[in-house]
Amino acid sequence: MLAWTSVLNGEMFNYQLSGMLMQLYVIYLPKFLFWRDTMLSSGCLRLLMFDYYNSMLINTVDEDGNNVELGGEFALEENEHFNNMPVNTLQSDIQIPTNVYNKDPNILNAIYNSEALNDVFILNFQKDPTLTWQYFGSSTGFFRIYPGIKWTPDSNGVAAFDCRNRNWYIQAATSPKDIIIMVDISGSMKGLKMTIAKHTINTILDTLGENDFVNVIAYTDYVRYVEPCFKGTLVQADLDNREHFKMLVEELHVKGEAKIKNAMKESFKILNEARVNGQGSMCNQAIMLITDGAMEDFESVFEEFNWPDRRVRVFTYLIGREMTFAQNTKWIACNNKGYYTHISTLADVQENVMEYLHVLSRPMVINHDHDIIWTEAYMDTVLFTTKAQSLLLMTSVAMPVFSKKKETLSHGILLGVVGSDVPLLEVMKLAPRYMVSSSSRLRLPHHQQRLHPEDKFS
């Protein structure tokens, strides 16, 4: 943004230019400035000057005592309703993960387009003072939260929180799904490739919730289930199972030669049997192939198990810097309604894994499905800095936000997810103790929570 602004102000051209560069400058600068003035007058370049309150940078000054860029003065007052946290009930602000560039044009454009939510959040709170946190998680990675807060990074100064990994976002953005993760553990995957592959598996697991089902297969010249007890089946992707898979994935070691065909057949058999027997999510099904190359001919496998209906999507993740087998890996995804990504470094993992969520959300967008979801009860340890604050048991209610532009409506573009937290203490007020027995259950759509008269929710 700064570089762009410098060009627009003509400051870039203060440097000494000579020869051909000077000729180009003389010829094209007047044309460029004419284009700039025309675009500015029409409002098309307004976003280049757009700033926002970055929750990590607010009330922060530099060595000279000046507010840092994207910071500025942001009034914060302790509020009893928000567990005595310092908040600004007149303004929302923006949190962006450290691994996402906070001046990326797509980020700036999406933040600008979400500005109107600020007034909506304030009006909601005025109408219903029992509301707590309201927020919008963008598919580009930023998180707009009301009331505005000062976001505290971890001990390393990193903001690892990514709203797209939160349960409320994942459940609202996609329908329930059955996922088979296939990972290549042949000798060519040694070193950094295997480290990236393991991180990719863990990131995929983090995108799953209790409505999803999963299994993980490692393959070389034979098929190996990372958890033999789960052989030939799908298991619910609850927190315990996801953490169990992560632990087992860390123990994987490379050896042998990669033979994908048998592993691919095994994956299709699991998913087909689940569908026929009414098991799993009974909704979306997908295979995640993580490899550094696909040399075999898979057409016969797809003809036998997936074509022509293509009920199972295949997403491929090419690991490493080599692009020798990129075409084969891309062909697999494109011919099975999936998505191909190339992951060459650990920093690439997060954004590339998220692409599959966009693909799975497209049918919801095109069919205009705006289902409201409720998460299971949880304790929020992200926003709250003390143990006493984080012990507040809550649930989240959320729904997806889709692009309604006519020119993109058929593409199924997910803009993000909007939601609000609901403390179970507020729900309990609707169910007085004398109406609750020891066997009572609180029923929310797709979830249920056992209530007991002696339960403490604060």
Residue 277: pLDDT above 90? yes
Q: What pLDDT was estimated at residue 409?
A: 62
Q: What pLDDT was estimated at residue 385?
A: 54
Q: Provide mean pLDDT across the span 379-383.
A: 67
Cα dihedral angle (279, 282, 288, 294), rounded to 10 degrees? 80
Angle among Cα 165, 166, 171 to the nearest 5 degrees reads: 100
Q: What pLDDT was estimated at residue 17?
A: 34
- The predicted-structure confidence for 399-451, as pLDDT tens digits, reads as follows 998 887 776 666 678 899 999 998 887 777 776 666 655 555 555 554 444 44
Query: Which residues does residue 145 pair with via DSSP β-bridges, in sequence order?
Result: 93, 135
Q: Please classify residue 248 by burial: count the beta carbons closer than 10 Å to its beta carbon, then call 0-12 exposed, 13-18 middle and 19+ buried.
A: middle
Q: What pLDDT was estimated at residue 433?
A: 64
- The predicted-structure confidence for 13-51, as pLDDT tens digits, reads as follows 333 333 333 343 344 444 444 544 454 445 454 444 457
CA distance 38 to 58: 34
CA distance 358 to 170: 10
Structure letter (DSSP) for residue 150: P
* More confident call, 49 vs 86: 86
* More confident call, 363 vs 12: 363
Residue 77: pLDDT above 60? yes
- The predicted-structure confidence for 283-297, as pLDDT tens digits, reads as follows 999 999 999 987 777
Which has the minimum average pLDDT: 95-104, 180-189, 233-242?
A: 95-104
Q: Provide mean pLDDT across the span 64-77.
A: 91
Q: Please classify residue 386 by burial: count the beta carbons closer than 10 Å to its beta carbon, then call 0-12 exposed, 13-18 middle and 19+ buried.
A: exposed
Q: What pLDDT was estimated at residue 453?
A: 39
CA distance 76 to 222: 59
- The predicted-structure confidence for 179-233, as pLDDT tens digits, reads as follows 999 999 999 999 999 999 999 999 999 999 888 999 999 999 999 999 999 999 9
- The predicted-structure confidence for 326-357, as pLDDT tens digits, reads as follows 999 999 999 999 999 999 999 899 889 989 98
Q: Please classify residue 362 by burial: count the beta carbons closer than 10 Å to its beta carbon, then call 0-12 exposed, 13-18 middle and 19+ buried.
A: middle
Q: What pLDDT was estimated at residue 264?
A: 96
Averaged pLDDT of the chain: 82
Q: What pLDDT was estimated at residue 311?
A: 95
Q: What pLDDT was estimated at residue 45?
A: 46
Structure letter (DSSP) for residue 186: S
- The predicted-structure confidence for 113-141, as pLDDT tens digits, reads as follows 999 999 999 999 999 998 999 999 999 99
Q: Provide mean pLDDT across the span 229-254.
A: 96
Query: Which residues does residue 184 pair with via DSSP β-bridges, in sequence order?
Result: 219
Q: Provide mean pLDDT across the span 145-149.
A: 96
Which has the minimum average pLDDT: 113-122, 320-329, 386-395?
A: 386-395
CA distance 329 to 271: 21
